[in-house]
């Protein structure tokens, strides 16, 4: 695909609604900080040099979803997940085209995959969380006929509204529901309800959502079902529930009522408009695996990947199973504690809520003195501060497990890369473990080098202020090359 058509791909825009994203989310001697212009620096390391990512800003809006990027990306995404323009920048820089294949081994809600599809570049994603895997799969599927999708969703909405109306319940903010008999409302099974953050959703909106889900199942049409469910996930999380993201997930004062059917239908309308807009693109093939990227060679062909563009988890206490808990439970991806635990076991250990006795990824970084120094510093600070909670005791361990897990991933990845493959890993420095600085990008580059990758450089994507330390933390793009 030539540059003109790429730009056109990026420009398809039809929906002026605001973006509704969700989150994820520095010293050393071998590097040189290069000041490029006020507020913009790049770090040169090893051979070659990292460049600042185009459009980067020292703080703030660098990872906002640009209005022209909203089609499809906006169907459901993590707050602050990396932006499509970053993917475009690296696709261009790596000179990736339709004859290549891009991999995102931590594809989350599919930003890399959707952007590659828009650009006509084949891609493959790997994601261990079933809800994020589902979102990526649906966002990569542009096959539903937009009119058919709308017609079907309108029928389902009619059925749900009629059912609610027979129960004396309105879905109309101009006709508020008076007192409702809470005991008569539908609820989640207790083992599922127990998994939710308390008061994630008020009883009446939950009842309406469960009625809608039931109507979707009874009138199920497989051509549209998954898209309709993803639209519901977005509507529930950002409009119907009591959740808020700042960027961590929290619970706001409860909404006793909310429009459910109409909000969902409006999301489906927006989806149908996007499907119409992207239909004219020469879209490329996308495949998404629900798998663990530490065992990536089990799902990908040897030497099948030309470039990796990804943002893996960071060691920052962010729990992806918590930020997505409500929709994961409502759509049936997690049913009980055992299911939640099994899911967590498949994730890189980036927070103390998914560390288990049997974990041993730290053996992959047994010879890395800097990671051990950091882990000792965290443990020494914990003792010095007299911190004794279970979580605090795990900070040092999770740091080693995190880098060990990433090392394991990078080691296994070598089998699936073509010689000369380019890699871009977007990661952030962290100081959340008792304020001990973890320079994630530097350490990842070091691990890559020890595994035989060429370290091309580290670009500064943006900086953000750490509230605890008032320091600017760097969010960087680690650039590697696999020599083969
Ligand atoms: C920072 S998010 C990626 C966000 C993504 N760029 C997007 O567009 O939404 C990191 C993702 O890695 C996933 N993940 C964590 N450990 C994993 C593993 N071992 N294998 C595959 N995916 C994993 C998490 O579930 C999460 O969705």
The domain defined by 26-127+283-481 folds into Rossmann fold (3.40.50)
Q: Is the CB of 128 under 6 A from ligand 1?
A: yes
What's the mean per-residue pLDDT of the chain?
87
Q: What angle do CA 296, 452, 344 make, to 5 degrees?
A: 30
Residue range 188-216: average pLDDT?
97
State the distance from the centre of ligand 1 to the C-alpha of 342, rounded, in angstroms.
16
Q: Is the CB of 81 under 6 A from ligand 1?
A: yes
Residue range 252-262: average pLDDT?
94
- Per residue in 391-450, pLDDT (tens digit) is 899 999 999 999 999 999 999 999 999 999 999 999 999 988 888 999 999 999 999 999
Percent pLDDT > 70 in the chain is: 87
pLDDT of 455 higher than 80: yes
Check residue 62 and give its pLDDT: 63
Do 63 and 82 contact (CB within 8 A), yes or no?
Answer: yes
Q: Whose CA is nearest to atom 2 of ligand 1?
A: 108
pLDDT of 13 higher than 80: no
pLDDT of 253 higher than 70: yes
State the distance from the centre of ligand 1 to the C-alpha of 436, rounded, in angstroms.
24
- Per residue in 139-182, pLDDT (tens digit) is 999 999 999 999 999 999 999 999 999 999 999 878 878 777 88
Q: Is the CB of 126 under 6 A from ligand 1?
A: yes
Q: Is the CB of 129 under 6 A from ligand 1?
A: yes
Percent pLDDT > 90 in the chain is: 74
* Structure tokens belonging to residue 32: 């040189």
For ligand 1, what atom is nearest to the CA of residue 105?
A: 21
Residue range 281-302: average pLDDT?
96
* Structure tokens belonging to residue 319: 């729990």
pLDDT of 280 higher than 60: yes
Check residue 469 and give its pLDDT: 73
Q: Is the CB of 320 under 6 A from ligand 1?
A: yes
State the distance from the centre of ligand 1 to the C-alpha of 141, rounded, in angstroms.
19
Model confidence at 68, pLDDT cuts 50, 70, 90, reads very high
For ligand 1, what atom is nearest to the CA of residue 108?
A: 27
pLDDT of 7 higher than 60: no
Q: Are strands 454-465 and 472-481 parallel, antiparallel or unpaired?
A: antiparallel
Centroid of chain to Cα 208 = 28
Check residue 61 and give its pLDDT: 60
State the distance from the centre of ligand 1 to the C-alpha of 328, rounded, in angstroms.
15
Q: Is the CB of 446 under 6 A from ligand 1?
A: no
Q: Kindly report the backbone phi and psi dihedral angles of residue 279, in degrees, each rounded to the nearest multiple of 5, phi listed first.
A: -60, -30
270-297 as b/e: b if 16+ CB within 10 A: bbbebbebbeebebbebbbbbbbbbebe
User: Is pLDDT larger for residue 177 or for residue 114?
Assistant: 114
Check residue 33 and give its pLDDT: 34
Residue range 197-221: average pLDDT?
97
Residue range 239-247: average pLDDT?
91
Do 441 and 449 contact (CB within 8 A), yes or no?
Answer: no
pLDDT of 39 higher than 50: no
Q: Whose CA is nearest to atom 4 of ligand 1?
A: 108
- Per residue in 369-391, pLDDT (tens digit) is 999 999 999 999 999 999 999 88
Among left, alpha and beta (phi > 0; psi -120 to 50; other), residue 242 is alpha
Q: Which of 9-13, 17-21, 108-112 has the highest mean pLDDT?
A: 108-112
Q: Is the CB of 108 under 6 A from ligand 1?
A: yes
SS (H, E, C) 27-72: CCCCEEEEEEECCEEEEEECCCCCCCCCCCECCCHHHCCCHHHHHH
Check residue 191 and give its pLDDT: 96
Classify residue 482 by its DSSP letter.
-
* Structure tokens belonging to residue 219: 């009138």
Q: Is the dihedral of CA 298, 299, 304, 309 positive or negative?
A: negative
For ligand 1, what atom is nearest to the CA of residue 293?
A: 20
State the distance from the centre of ligand 1 to the C-alpha of 107, rounded, in angstroms.
5
Model confidence at 63, pLDDT cuts 50, 70, 90, reads low
Give the H or E element holding residue 471: none
For ligand 1, what atom is nearest to the CA of residue 405?
A: 19
Residue range 263-275: average pLDDT?
98
- Cite the residue boundaries of each domain of the chain with CATH code 3.40.50.150: 26-127+283-481
Distance CA 477, CA 458 (A): 6
Percent helix, strand and coil across the chain, each rounded to 5?
Answer: 45, 15, 40
pLDDT of 310 higher than 80: yes
Q: Is the CB of 348 under 6 A from ligand 1?
A: yes
Strand stretches in 143-186, DSSP E? none
Model confidence at 472, pLDDT cuts 50, 70, 90, reads confident
β-strand partners of 261: none
Centroid of chain to Cα 185 = 33
Q: Is the CB of 311 under 6 A from ligand 1?
A: yes
User: To test the ligand 1 pocket, which listed residue (25, 317, 328, 347) has its Cβ within 8 A of the most ligand atoms?
Assistant: 347
Residue range 88-110: average pLDDT?
98
């Amino acid at each position: 695909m030539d540059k003109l058509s790429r730009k056109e791909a990026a420009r398809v825009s039809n929906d002026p609604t605001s973006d509704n994203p969700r989150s994820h989310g520095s010293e050393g001697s071998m590097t040189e900080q290069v000041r490029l212009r006020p507020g913009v620096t790049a770090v040169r390391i090893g051979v070659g040099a990292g460049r600042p990512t185009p459009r980067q800003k020292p703080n703030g809006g660098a990872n906002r979803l640009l209005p022209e990027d909203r089609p499809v990306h906006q169907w459901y995404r993590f707050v602050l997940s990396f932006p499509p323009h970053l993917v475009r920048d690296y696709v261009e820089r790596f000179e990736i085209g339709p004859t290549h294949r891009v991999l995102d081994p931590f594809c989350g809600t599919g930003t890399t995959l959707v952007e590659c599809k828009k650009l006509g570049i084949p891609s493959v994603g790997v994601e261990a969380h079933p809800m994020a895997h589902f979102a990526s799969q649906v966002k990569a599927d542009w096959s539903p006929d937009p009119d058919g999708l709308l017609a079907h969703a309108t029928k389902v909405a009619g059925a749900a509204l009629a059912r609610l109306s027979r129960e004396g319940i309105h879905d109309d903010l101009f006709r508020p529901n008076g007192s409702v008999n809470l005991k008569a409302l539908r609820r989640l099974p207790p083992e599922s309800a127990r998994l939710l953050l308390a008061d994630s959703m008020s009883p009446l909106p939950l009842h309406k959502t469960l009625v809608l889900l039931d109507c979707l199942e009874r009138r199920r049409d497989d051509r549209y079902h998954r898209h309709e469910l993803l639209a519901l996930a977005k509507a529930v999380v950002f409009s119907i529930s009591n959740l808020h993201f700042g960027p961590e997930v929290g619970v706001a004062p409860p909404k006793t009522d909310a429009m459910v059917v109409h909000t969902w239908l409006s999301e489906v309308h927006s989806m149908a408009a996007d499907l119409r807009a992207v239909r004219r693109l020469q879209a490329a093939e996308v495949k998404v695996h629900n798998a663990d990227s530490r065992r990536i060679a089990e799902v990908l062909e040897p030497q099948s990947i030309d470039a990796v563009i990804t943002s893996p988890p960071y060691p920052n206490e962010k729990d992806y199973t918590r930020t997505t808990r409500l929709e994961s439970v409502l759509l049936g991806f997690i049913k009980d504690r055992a299911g939640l635990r099994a899911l967590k076991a498949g994730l890189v250990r980036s927070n103390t809520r998914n560390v288990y006795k049997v974990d041993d990824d730290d053996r992959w970084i047994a010879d890395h003195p800097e990671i051990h120094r950091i882990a000792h510093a965290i443990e020494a600070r914990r003792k010095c501060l007299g911190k004794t909670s279970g979580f605090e005791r795990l900070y040092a361990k999770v740091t080693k497990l995190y880098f060990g897990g990433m090392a394991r991933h990078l080691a296994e990845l070598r089998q699936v890369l073509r010689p000369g493959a380019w890699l871009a890993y977007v990661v952030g420095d962290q100081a959340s473990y008792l304020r001990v600085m973890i320079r994630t990008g530097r350490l990842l580059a070091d691990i890559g080098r020890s595994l035989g990758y060429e370290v091309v450089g580290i670009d500064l994507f943006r900086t953000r202020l750490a509230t605890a330390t008032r320091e600017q933390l760097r969010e960087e793009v680690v650039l590697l090359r696999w020599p083969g």
